[in-house]
Amino acid sequence: MRKVVKFGGSSLASAEQFKKVGDIIHADKERKFVVPSAPGKRDANDTKVTDMLYACYELAEEGKDFTKNLQAIKDRYQEIIDGLKLKLSLENEFKVIEKNFKEKAGSDYAASRGEFLNGIIMANYLGYEFIDAAEVILFADNGEYDAEITNAKLKARLEGVEAAVIPGFYGAYADGRVKTFSRGGSDITGSIVARAVKANVYENWTDVSGILVADPRIIYKPEGIETITYKELRELSYMGFNVLHEDAIFPVRREGIPINIRNTNAPEDNGTWIVESTCQKSKYVITGVAGKKGFCAVNIDKDMMNSEIGFGRKVLQAFEENGISFEHVPSGIDTMTVFVHQDEFMHKEQQVVSGIHRLAEPDRIDIEADLALIAVVGRGMKSTRGTAGRIFSALAHANVNVKMIDQGSSELNIIIGVANSDFETAIKAIYDIFVRIQI
């Protein structure tokens, strides 16, 4: 039995946090593969080391003096080393970093040093082997992560390795140039390592006790989610749940390895289990509710649209030609609406409108801006009657006008479009009806 444990930046922001992490790892013999992030914020006014590295490298790139900035980063690590009373010097590593910054090694290389250095400290602290992610996490020439080659290489490298630390967030191209994932990408590394060692669980340690039913910035102290499926999480992540990087699900999902989100500051909490499938019912009919503001609806009318073969394709072609992806396309007999991200669409709206006219010859096009989309997600909805009814009566009572409804055929989610200004009220109404007032 092997566990892969990934620790986020706030779990490794100081020596004190490192000690908590050490205790967590030592408390369970199965925690053999560790993926650290770079040191995060020690308090609300602090700066993440990754951000310090980006800023420092920017100076190097502009040919300006960056010594002070690099020294501040060095100090952050030294404080951790001293606090842990380690006999470790990162002097040589910093010399190499300075040289590479001067030679303009790239911002990916710069950012990756946060995890790289933290990995060296962690390996030294635990007495585990250090494996540079650049050797085992590989990217193809087009910049995409190469899952199969990485899996083969990582598996081979880890064969016979008892315990190791593999820094998160980065890998390399075949020629050795460092490449990072997008921000928060250490979550992906953890998942990749879990797949390679066929772990029985991927523990993702952060600073919250799991995933919450709704955004705490909107709902006061929302309930936590005990178990959620990969599919449900995917829907909610897309709509803004950001406990875990969106792409972190894919590697473990292939092997059916569950992810357990845990809190470094409250290790006794069970956290949230993210699983392939479960017979465990969620506590409420809905598993979670999330949403995003900033959408536009492009409403297209044409009499007899329903009998015109290829109409939808022509409309969507106009979006495609302008490089705009669409979110939802609810339709009626003579109407079709395309939901798009407002900031993406804004600059191209007239090209898209004329494109639709040219390609599909509609009667009328009308654009509605400042809309929000809300996803009500739950595996329990399938077997419960009246869910939609409860949502819409709650919204009606809260005086929220519903502009769009879209229920996926899997009955896993219901998407609702409302005005941006009604967004928070709508989330509150939905949360209350399912979680606070249970009937």
- Residues near ligand ASP (CB under 6 A) are 9, 37-38, 48, 50, 114, 168-169, 183-186
Residue 16 Cβ, how far from ligand ASP at the closest point, in Å? 19
DSSP state at residue 185: T
Measured from the CB atom, the residue of 38 and 427 that comes closer to ligand ASP is: 38
In whole angstroms, what is the distance from residue 203 CA to residue 410 CA? 28
Measured from the CB atom, the residue of 50 and 150 that comes closer to ligand ASP is: 50
Residue 319 Cβ, how far from ligand ASP at the closest point, in Å? 31
Say how many residues make up the chain: 439
**Number of other residues whose CB lies within 10 A of the CB of residue 436:** 12
Based on the number of CB atoms within 10 Å of its own CB, is 159 exposed (0-12), middle (13-18) or buried (19 or more)?
exposed
In whole angstroms, what is the distance from residue 360 CA to residue 354 CA? 10
Measured from the CB atom, the residue of 181 and 339 that comes closer to ligand ASP is: 181
Measured from the CB atom, the residue of 37 and 264 that comes closer to ligand ASP is: 37
**How many helices and strands, by DSSP H and E, does the chain display?**
15, 17
DSSP state at residue 433: I
In whole angstroms, what is the distance from residue 355 CA to residue 314 CA? 9
- Residue 275 token pair: 């699983």
Residue 170 Cβ, how far from ligand ASP at the closest point, in Å? 9
Alpha helix ranges (H) inside 183-299:
186-196, 230-238, 249-255
Measured from the CB atom, the residue of 259 and 285 that comes closer to ligand ASP is: 259
Cα–Cα separations (whole angstroms), residue 380 to 99, 232, 237, 385 = 56, 11, 18, 10
Q: Are strands 272-275 and 259-263 parallel, antiparallel or unpaired?
A: antiparallel
Measured from the CB atom, the residue of 56 and 300 that comes closer to ligand ASP is: 56
Residue 111 Cβ, how far from ligand ASP at the closest point, in Å? 7
Based on the number of CB atoms within 10 Å of its own CB, is 280 exposed (0-12), middle (13-18) or buried (19 or more)?
exposed
Residue 121 Cβ, how far from ligand ASP at the closest point, in Å? 15
Residue 118 Cβ, how far from ligand ASP at the closest point, in Å? 9
Measured from the CB atom, the residue of 19 and 183 that comes closer to ligand ASP is: 183
Measured from the CB atom, the residue of 150 and 204 that comes closer to ligand ASP is: 204
CB contact set of 72 (below 8 Å; sequence gap of 6+): 52
Residue 36 Cβ, how far from ligand ASP at the closest point, in Å? 9
DSSP output for 347-412: GGHHHHHHHHHHHH--SEEEEEEEEEEEEEE-GGGTT-TTHHHHHHHHHHHTTPPP-EEEE-TTSS
Measured from the CB atom, the residue of 8 and 355 that comes closer to ligand ASP is: 8
Residue 53 Cβ, how far from ligand ASP at the closest point, in Å? 9
Residue 305 Cβ, how far from ligand ASP at the closest point, in Å? 45
Measured from the CB atom, the residue of 168 and 258 that comes closer to ligand ASP is: 168
Q: Which residue is nearest to ligand ASP (CB)?
A: 186
Residue 112 Cβ, how far from ligand ASP at the closest point, in Å? 9
Mark 389-407 as b/e (b = at least 16 C-beta within 10 Å).
ebbbebbeebebebbbebb
In whole angstroms, what is the distance from residue 423 CA to residue 434 CA? 17
Nearest to 298 by CA among 347, 369, 357, 348: 369
